[in-house]
Amino acid sequence: MDRKRSAAAAGQAWQIYRETLEPEAPGLWQRARAVPRMLKSVLRGQYKGMSVGTLGLLALGLVYIISPIDAIPDMIPVVGIVDDTGMALWMATVLVKAAGDFVAWERGGRPTVLVGEPID
């Protein structure tokens, strides 16, 4: 992961963390507790705010982190761990952001129709 991507990932993570500190926004702990409920709702097709494809990418990211096969081997002192750290940071950012949207969706009474979605 190059410096520009690392800086962008860190900036995005900081922005989402700041979002959790806003008065009306769900906090970080509330978002973390909502992740299992969100995953169940996505897999059941109840929550349309996150796609199954995104869940697949998160699963692949987890496999990449725990896999001994890396794009940059972990034996290289610093650089080998930076790519795994970048992937973990991306995954955490996606989950925290999506969990915040999910909590807002839950608070709104779990509408079954999304704004902009055609109604038959």
Query: Residue 86: how many CB atoms within 10 A of its CB?
Result: 17
Q: Any idea what the Cα angle at residue 109 is, between residues 111 and 39, rounded to 5°?
A: 75
In a domain, 117, yes or no: no
Range name among 15-19, 32-36, 62-66 with the lowest pLDDT average: 15-19
Report the pLDDT averaged over residues 42-62. 90
In a domain, 66, yes or no: yes
pLDDT given for residue 39 in this prediction: 92
pLDDT-based confidence at residue 111 (cuts at 50, 70, 90): low
Full domain range(s) for residue 19: 3-106
pLDDT given for residue 114 in this prediction: 56
Element spanning 55, H or E: helix 52-66
CA-to-CA separations, 111 to 56, 106, 120, in angstroms, rounded: 25, 8, 16
In a domain, 28, yes or no: yes
In a domain, 85, yes or no: yes
In a domain, 113, yes or no: no
In a domain, 100, yes or no: yes
pLDDT-based confidence at residue 40 (cuts at 50, 70, 90): very high
- Percent with pLDDT over 70 in the chain: 74
Element spanning 31, H or E: helix 28-44
- Rounded to the nearest 10°, the torsion over CA 18, 108, 46, 112 is -140
Tally the domains of the chain: 1
Q: Do residues 70 and 84 lie in contact, with contact meaning Cβ atoms separated by under 8 Å? A: yes
